[in-house]
Amino acid sequence: MRASVLTIGDELLSGNTVNTNASWISQNLTLAGCNVIRHFTVCDEEQEIKDSLTLLFELPIDLIVCTGGLGPTDDDITRKSIFNYFNSDSEFDEDYWANLQRRFSLIGHEISESNKSQAIIPSNGKVFPNSIGSARGLSFKKDNITLMALPGVPSEMESMMKETVLPWVRKNSKQTIFSINIRTTGVPESMLFENISVNNDNIDSNVKIGYYPSLFGVDIRISGDDKISIERVKKLVINNVGSHIYSIGEDSLEEIVVNKLLKNNLTISTIESCTGGLIGHRITQVPGSSSVYSGGIISYSNEAKLNQVKVNSNILKNHGAVSEEVALEMAKNGRNIFNSDICVSVTGIAGPGGGTKDKPVGLVYVGYCTSSILKVDKYSFHSNRKSNKLRTSQAVLNLIMKNIE
């Protein structure tokens, strides 16, 4: 099955809102067996929307997924534009309007007259449910191409994709596409490519290998229509870059870490300086983390390091806050403070200021302390403040994962 994605909204083109919907939709359509061949993003203007639909319906595709513009405000014109494109009359759904009134009443809100637009249904199309919002989806078919329009609110869009669109794709797809995602960290995309491409002769021509880098690492996605070929390439990739792999699938590194801690009945604490609590935040984003995360201290200032973490004042004075010695003190003392099995500490220079010739921006020391291990790893990221913090948090989580059986 071939598909295209149409995202609608002035805010997407102005840059006020990042278009995460297009990425999420394409990723999940691909996992469901779709080949996504085109993305369009257009403004909230009826003619632009209709012109985009005309172009999309001329493509050799089976499905168009559209998001945005189904809300109750004046700039939500997608519903009207689609109705006009398909020459569809509007009908008012009294039952759904009554249902909306009840739902608003239950949460203590008085429904607005503008919400009546969300009870409009097409005469020659279909609607499908939105279990967590008020804007239902729209479905039309033309020239054997199905259009499914969804709200632009990410949580509502994702819910409706899972409940309606993706099951429809799986049911109607004529060809099954198999896909495996291999997640790596701590290695550049170019090195992964070189290590894997030396075995190109052993990779079937019907198998695609895609490399998707981010600040957290590189995802390697293997896809094709033959499951045996996919598994063969998966083994090849693992054999060549296995030391950098942290997940086969979609699990994040923090999910892997928390699950390993739970499996081994271990607790962990964090003492953070330059990351400002980011590591603790990522750990506690995972359900079940309350059973393994003892707590954390953000010892951003030297005073906090001295008073809260009890770093030796002579060590701090002689070696400076960003040093191997201070990272060791932070990890060792943090483990005692929280009585945890593991403690990790971070001290570094996130930037843009604060760097010197000897201690440049991006220099980070990570301490790791258990009952049998006390060590420090040194990293040099040389990037901007946001990237340095994110990469540091990923490096710390990777260090934790590799040190747990």
pLDDT digits over 34-64, tens only?
A: 889 999 999 999 999 999 999 999 999 999 9
Mean pLDDT of the chain: 94
The pLDDT tens digits of the residues spanning 212-242 come to: 999 999 999 998 888 999 999 999 999 999 9
DSSP category for residue 133: S
pLDDT of the residue at 206: 84
Residues 6+ apart with CB under 8 A from 83: 89, 90, 122, 125
Sequence letter at residue 210: G
Cβ-contact 47, 57 below 8 angstroms: no
The pLDDT tens digits of the residues spanning 159-177 come to: 999 999 999 999 998 777 7
Q: Which domains does the chain have, with CATH numbers?
A: 2-172 (3.40.980.10), 178-248 (3.30.70.2860), 253-403 (3.90.950.20)
Burial of 80 (0-12, 13-18, 19+ CB in 10 A): middle
Residue % of the chain over a pLDDT of 70: 100
- Does position 202 have pLDDT exceeding 90, yes or no? no
pLDDT of the residue at 204: 81
The pLDDT tens digits of the residues spanning 250-304 come to: 999 999 999 999 999 999 999 999 999 999 999 999 999 999 999 999 999 999 9
Residue 339 pLDDT class (50, 70, 90 cuts): very high
Burial letters 313-328, b for 16+ CB under 10 A, else e: eeebeeeebbbbbbbb
pLDDT of the residue at 380: 96
Cβ-contact 244, 185 below 8 angstroms: yes
